[in-house]
Structure formats: C-alpha cells, structure tokens
Amino acid sequence: MDLDSKYSKNKYTSLDHFVEENGKIYAGHHYLIDMWNCLYLEDEIKIKDLLMRAAKSAGASVLQVKTHHFGEGQGVSGVAILAESHISIHTWPERSFAAFDIFMCGNTNPELSLDFLTKTFKPKKIDIKKLKRGIIS
Amino acid sequence: MDLDSKYSKNKYTSLDHFVEENGKIYAGHHYLIDMWNCLYLEDEIKIKDLLMRAAKSAGASVLQVKTHHFGEGQGVSGVAILAESHISIHTWPERSFAAFDIFMCGNTNPELSLDFLTKTFKPKKIDIKKLKRGIIS
C-alpha cells in the first residue's frame, strides 16, 4: 500500500493514509458529539440515510451501514463502517438524547459530517469534543 | 421503558438506563484506546472473536459484529453493536497501530473490556482517554 498516495473523491483512499499537518503525524480525527432535543431519535430509516449522507459529505467511502431499533418508543443504534473508519449514533428518545461519534482518517473532512449532522438532526443543545487518534510523537 | 430497571446478565438491559454515580447522571463511558505494536492487526477472524469476548467480559449484550478486511497486508475494521452502545477497532498494520473505542452505557463495566483487550492484543505502547457521554448538568 502506498502511504503517499494522493486522495481523490473518485479513487480508493488507502486506510493507512495517516494525516500530516503542521509537522504532526496522526491517524485521524475523532469527534464525540452529544445532541439534546434533536430530531429522528426513533426513526431507523432516516438515521440510516443520514449516516450515509454524513459520511459522503466528508468525502468518505461507506462500506456498510448497520442499524438496530430497540422497539417502539425506544432508541436506535447505527454504525456506518467507512474506508476511513466510522460514524456511529446511539439514541435515547426517553431522554431526548443522541450520542454520535465521527472517526475519520485519510483525506476526509469530518467538519463537513459534523455540519451535516447538526443541520439535519437540529439539536437544541450540543456538546462536541474533538480528539486526534494515533499521534506519532 | 423502565428507567429504574435493574441490570441482570440474564435479562435485557434497557438502552435508556443512564448511569447515576456520585450525584452525576450520564449516558455512559466512552474510552478511546490507541495501541501500538500489538497483535492481530491483520487477523479478521481473531478480531471478530475478541470484540465479542471483550463485550461479554463487561457484561454487555452483543447484537451484531461486523468486520471488514481491506486486503492482504492491510488493515481490518470491526464494530460490535451492543445493547449498551458499541466497541470498534480500526487497524493499520503498516504503522503497527490499532485504534479502539469502547462506548458503554447501562450497568456494564468498560474497564473489564479494556483489561481484556489489553491482555489479548498485548500492545507495547498504549494511550487511553476516558470520557463521559450525555452528562445531564
């Protein structure tokens, strides 16, 4: 696998394409996003669609999307497995709460997924933590 | 759904069972674990088995485990979707690196999954970040 291969939206992005930025080398970005009072907390079909679109908005390639609805009035879990890691969601309608994480490596832009998820799920309150994974010191 | 239902290894654990601890109420724990120079970076079958066993070691219920091997000499991605959220892994054999996350709500113990993963994958170097999700202020 070519560590130096360039990314193109029309090409496969190698999974070992660590990010090089300002002299730092790391695997990718991991965002943990807590949304309160947002939409679609019980809507498995909508969640599946939005996970795929959130991934694509960042330039990521979706390999599989798996969802599980825990039953009437209960939450949904969903994971999009990407060529560049994953996006997940777990919802608690009883608490009006959804927990997302976006883990993206390669030449993708997780900010675009975050923007997409915020604009579509429309939380009244949001808490975002942004971390880097696999930092080579 | 009964928010106060008690957890039992032999019973379904309701997804909205937020944790109450020392006066704090939150959805669950989210651990981000970076392992360097560990085992099984290319072994999809072993990874699938170890994700399931890691989840069970914490008292969690596995709903689905999905894995993807990116090809000879390349990495593996895997996600165990749990009744209590998820465990994921993404590996980069070319960098001798694996990124895990353990997100667990309900009456589970993510420390036991972390112990299990550390003992089985045997990293020479490890970086662990522990966060809480869905904190009700």
Domains, chain B, ranges and CATH? Answer: 29-132 (3.60.90.10)
Task: Please list every residue in chain B whose beta carbon sits closer than 8 Å to the beta carbon of residue A19.
Answer: none
Q: Which residue has the higher pLDDT, B9 or A135?
A: A135
Strands of chain B, DSSP E = 19-21, 24-26, 28-36, 62-69, 76-82, 85-92, 97-105, 125-133
Per-chain mean pLDDT for chain B: 89
Whether B16 shows a pLDDT value over 80: the answer reads no
Q: CA dihedral defined by B107, B109, B113, B118, rounded to 10 degrees?
A: 170
Q: Where are the alpha helices (DSSP H) in A1-137?
A: 44-57, 110-121
Mutate to test the interface with A, among B32, B90, B129 (most CBs of A within 10 A): B90
Amino acid identity, position B39: L
The verdict on B26 touching A (C-beta cutoff 8 Å) is no
- A43 Cα to chain B: minimum distance (Å): 16
Cα separation values, A69 from A8, A78, B16, B102, Å:
35, 9, 13, 20
Averaged confidence pLDDT in chain A? 89
User: Is pLDDT above 70 for B4?
Assistant: no
User: Is the CB of B57 inside 8 Å of chain A's CB atoms?
Assistant: no
Say whether pLDDT at A36 is over 60.
yes
ipTM of predicted complex: 0.88
Identify the bridge partners of residue A131 per DSSP, sorted by sequence position.
Answer: A30
pTM of the model: 0.89
**Spatial contact of B76 and B47, defined as CB atoms under 8 Å apart:** yes
Tens of pLDDT, residue by residue over B31-56, are: 999 999 999 999 999 999 999 999 99
Q: Which of A29, A94, A105 to mutate to test the interface with B (most CBs of B within 10 A)?
A: A94
* Separation in Å, CA of B43 to nearest CA in chain A: 16
Using CB atoms, which residue from B81, B94, B101 is nearest to A1?
B94
* Residue range A73-122, pLDDT digits in tens: 999 999 999 999 999 999 999 999 999 999 999 889 999 999 999 999 99
